[in-house]
Structure 1
Amino acid sequence: MEKGKGVARRWAVEFADNSSYSLPSDIPDPLGFTRSSSDPDDANASRQKKDAEAAWKAQKAWEVAQAPFKNLLMMGFMMWMAGSTVHLFSIGITFSALWQPISALQGVGKVFEPYKDPRVDTLAPKLLFIALNLAAMALGVWKLNSLGLLPTHASDWVSSLPTAPEVEYSSGGLPFH
């Protein structure tokens, strides 16, 4: 009823005074709904929910661990397309191929933080993630070597070799006593 008017409205709900309003208990539950399964204290349902969440976290951890493989294939294709000559594009692709795995390896803990759960073992996905990033870094080092930017030959170190001792001395035709 509206206050002060004396006229009863059939579908009106007074929110200010909630003590007089209650749900009628004779209304049946909707089809497919049972009160016992919606009980938050039901241990079986909560355990199944936790198990499903743990399985989802484990699956997502493996997906994250395998993500560097896709990047490895893409980066290998880009390096192949860049060619074996030293120019700005090939050097940029190569250093990108080196920087991405290094930064990914520095953040392994952050990458797998959302999947941390006592029921989920993230050691194997972390090891796979690290191995794939190390493979990507090895691909970048291989490309540096194929570009000739790594000092792998003896001629690359000539400037650091000591000078040979003098065996003979020439004075330009004047006798030397």
Structure 2
Amino acid sequence: MEKGKGLARRWAVELHDVSSSASPAVPDPPGFTRSAPDADDAAGARQRKDSEAAWKAQKAWEVAQSPFKNLMMMGFMMWMAGSTVHLFSIGITFSALWQPISALRSVGKVFEPFKDPRVDTIAPKLLFIALNLAAMGLGVWKLNTLGLLPTNPSDWVSSLAPAPEVEYAGGGIPLI
């Protein structure tokens, strides 16, 4: 027997010629059954959209809370720098002021990936702003402890006497 003649192939697919037939419809491929869109597909799509919205909301809250970690680290670095004016403490203080300012300028860009009609980003944005303002307050407090904030009138007007010293520290053995 010749190969392919006489025996029906088990997996053979007979293709129809559309140009010669009267019906322009193409038959469905083997194993495919036409059915109307199920309610399950719509429910699955809705569930996927809801889970995506929940994921975006969760990530928005995580981004909103991220300045807290920076706040703790910056506070520790300021404490380690001490209260004397030197290059290291001024650099850390400048960084403590610059990072929140740049973060506050880019609030819209930070929360842009989470923009969705189903996700409310107002509360995370407010938390993000509040934590960055607290970080700026920490930087201003460090400026004050370093004595770099102009808090006395004599800091502004050179003709006024400087503020009196509150305490005096001296050491050594007094000479008699």
Change (3 A) 1:25 1:87: same
Question: 2:52, 2:74 → 1: CA distance?
Answer: 34
Q: Which residue of 1 aligns with 2:86?
A: 87
Partner of 1:153 in structure 2? 152
For the pair 1:144 / 2:163, whether they are aligned, the reply is no
CA distance in 2, matches of 1:105, 1:158: 33
Equivalenced residue count is 136
For 1:158, what is the secondary structure of its paired residue? coil
Which position in structure 1 is the counterpart of 2:31?
25
**Uncovered stretches (5+) of structure 2, i.e. residues with no partner:** 10-17, 19-27, 161-176
In 2, Cα distance between equivalents of 1:24 and 1:131: 62
TM-score w.r.t. the length of structure 2 is: 0.69
Aligned-partner SS, 1:102 = helix
Distance 1:126 1:119 in 2: 16
Q: TM-score, structure 1 length as denominator?
A: 0.69
**Counterpart-to-counterpart distance in 2, 1:62 and 1:71:** 15
Q: Deviations over 1:102-143 (max 9, x none)?
A: 000000000000000000000000000000000000000000
Structure 2: distance between partners of 1:46 and 1:84 = 58
Q: Identity rate of aligned residues, in percent?
A: 82
The answer for the alignment partner of 2:108 in structure 1 is: 109
Distance change in 2, residues 1:146/1:55 (3 Å): same
Q: Do 1:94 and 1:144's aligned partners in 2 also have CA atoms closer than 8 Å? A: yes
Structure 1 residue 43: deviation in Å?
1.1
Contact 1:40 1:46 in 2 (8 A): no
Query: 2: distance between equivalents of 1:152 and 1:84?
Result: 17
Structure 1 segments unaligned to the other structure (5+ residues)? 1-6, 11-18, 27-34, 162-177
